[in-house]
């Protein structure tokens, strides 16, 4: 198959450009905004405005209309409400790429799929080993299992042409599968006591959404209206509310519309396009600002040596690189998969290092795993430490490797 000069497969005539290609062309601007939001949270949490910051996040807001009661803290509105939109976009991305994108077909999914399994299993194992002597903290085993696609692509964007496009596609595919794994983990292991009535209503609404799809309804409004009600019942059911976003995404039609004989983007693609910038430039940075703030007052190296931050940091920094690169290396050497085009094993290892950036999803799972504020802060320390170490190591290795390859190519 022919490729464009930047390594992408050309977009077939009549088909809308892949959301993945648009994401890569954006140079992961959202990753930079997220970095600034996380830095701002740390600055505020360690300044004179810290008390105001934490009081604002803990303030309860909401409303009551008859039997419908929605009163949550600002932090919960962000984590359960805004992040449902983030998960809606993640679900749309997973469906699009598996049916009509870079993850379509077994051949394309083999290497990132195997690497994703290693990248989830090994960090979780390392966390468990570090926390074996502390049973109360074992619940956080999934925290280091996720990769933050915005942060990781932001680092790759800084490297420009030093990194082959095939590796950017590999990293994106791996992160998408990582997100899918995290969604399954949240559904299976981080669900509280179930409200069967609310769960039944959510199930009935999901059936209605599927029926809309089967009936060929292509207008987004009915899906979004039912999706909002679905979110409410999932919130009340005990299943984490953000999973409503994923469930809604899977029912949005991928079939293209035809208006007056003209080809129009599918509802799924149209919603992806509409959500991409708001999620990347507003929702995820707001989540980062609300969840990354931790006070370092009275903390030292001894704080990092505690089971939770140590397990998370080592899981992200060591577990991710060992799991992703180790499983990928075995798959390539055994002939199950092949090395991405124009890439070396050293560059693949550099990308495996970047997979240790687990910011958004790791903080999210940490907030689900622990209710004790001290444990949540410990999670933040581990996530920030492991992610920063992974980002710096991956960037340094890929920069050095890319510069060396460019020098060789120039001879």
How many Cα atoms are found within 13 Å in the side-chain-facing hemisphere of 81? 12
What are the tens digits of pLDDT across the range 81-118?
999 999 899 889 888 888 877 667 666 789 999 999 99
Instruction: Walk along the chain (411 residues) in steps of 10 and give the mean pLDDT of each run.
Output: 41 50 57 88 94 94 82 91 91 84 72 95 96 91 88 81 85 86 87 86 96 94 96 89 91 75 76 90 91 81 87 97 97 93 93 92 91 91 94 94 56 46
Parse the chain into domains and list their residue ranges: 29-54+65-191+240-254+265-404
> CA 119 to CA 126: how far, in whole Å?
11
SS3 70: strand
Residue matched to tokens 């001879």: 411
Please state, in angstroms and as integers, the Cα–Cα distance from residue 256 to each residue in 16, 96, 228, following that order.
10, 12, 24
E strand spans, 41-166: 60-65, 68-73
Residue matched to tokens 């083999």: 110
Q: What pLDDT, on the 0 to 100 scale, is given for residue 274? A: 93
What are the tens digits of pLDDT across the range 134-157?
888 999 999 999 888 778 888 887
How is the chain split among helix, strand and coil, in percent rounded to 5? 70, 5, 25
Residue matched to tokens 């198959």: 1
Q: What pLDDT, on the 0 to 100 scale, is given for residue 143? A: 95
| CATH pick for 29-54+65-191+240-254+265-404 out of 3.40.50.720, 3.40.50.300, 1.20.1530.10, 3.40.50.2300 | 1.20.1530.10
Q: What pLDDT, on the 0 to 100 scale, is given for residue 411? A: 46
Reading the block at residue 229, the tokens are: 């009600």
């Amino acid at each position: 198959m022919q490729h464009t000069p930047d390594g992408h497969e050309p977009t077939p005539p009549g088909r809308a450009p892949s959301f993945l290609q648009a994401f890569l062309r954006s140079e992961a601007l959202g990753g930079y905004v997220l970095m600034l939001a996380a830095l701002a949270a740390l600055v505020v949490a360690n300044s004179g405005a810290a008390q105001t910051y934490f009081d604002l996040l803990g303030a309860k807001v909401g409303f009551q209309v008859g039997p419908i009661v929605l009163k949550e803290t600002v932090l919960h509105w962000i984590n359960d409400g805004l992040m449902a939109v983030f998960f809606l976009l993640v679900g749309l991305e997973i469906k699009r790429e598996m049916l009509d994108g870079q993850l379509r077909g077994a051949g394309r999914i083999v290497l990132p799929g195997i690497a994703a399994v290693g990248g989830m299993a090994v960090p979780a194992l390392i966390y468990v080993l570090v926390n074996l002597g502390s049973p109360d903290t074992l619940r956080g085993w999934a925290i280091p299992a996720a990769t933050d696609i915005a942060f990781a692509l932001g680092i790759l964007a800084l490297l420009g042409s030093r990194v082959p496009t095939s590796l950017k596609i590999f990293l994106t595919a791996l992160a998408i599968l990582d997100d899918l794994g995290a969604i399954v983990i949240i559904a299976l292991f981080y669900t509280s006591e179930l409200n069967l009535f609310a769960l039944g209503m959510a199930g009935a609404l999901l059936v209605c959404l599927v029926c809309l799809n089967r009936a060929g309804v292509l207008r987004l409004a009915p899906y979004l209206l039912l999706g909002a009600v679905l979110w409410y019942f999932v919130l009340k059911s005990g299943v984490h509310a953000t999973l409503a976003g994923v469930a809604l995404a899977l029912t949005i039609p991928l079939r293209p519309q035809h208006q007056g004989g003209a080809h129009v983007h599918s509802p799924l693609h149209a919603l992806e396009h509409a959500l991409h910038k708001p999620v990347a430039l507003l929702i995820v940075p707001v989540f980062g600002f609300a969840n990354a703030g931790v006070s370092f007052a009275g903390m030292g190296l001894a704080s990092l040596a505690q089971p939770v931050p140590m397990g998370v940091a080592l899981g992200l920094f060591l577990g991710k690189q060992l799991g992703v690169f180790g499983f990928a290396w075995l798959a390539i050497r055994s002939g199950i998969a092949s090395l991405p085009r124009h890439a070396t094993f050293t560059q693949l290892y550099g990308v495996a290092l970047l997979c240790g950036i687990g910011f958004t999803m790791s903080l999210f799972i940490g907030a689900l795993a622990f209710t004790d504020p001290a444990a949540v802060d410990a999670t933040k320390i581990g996530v920030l430490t492991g992610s920063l170490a992974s980002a710096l190591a991956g960037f340094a290795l890929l920069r050095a490797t890319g510069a060396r390859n460019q020098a060789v190519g120039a001879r």
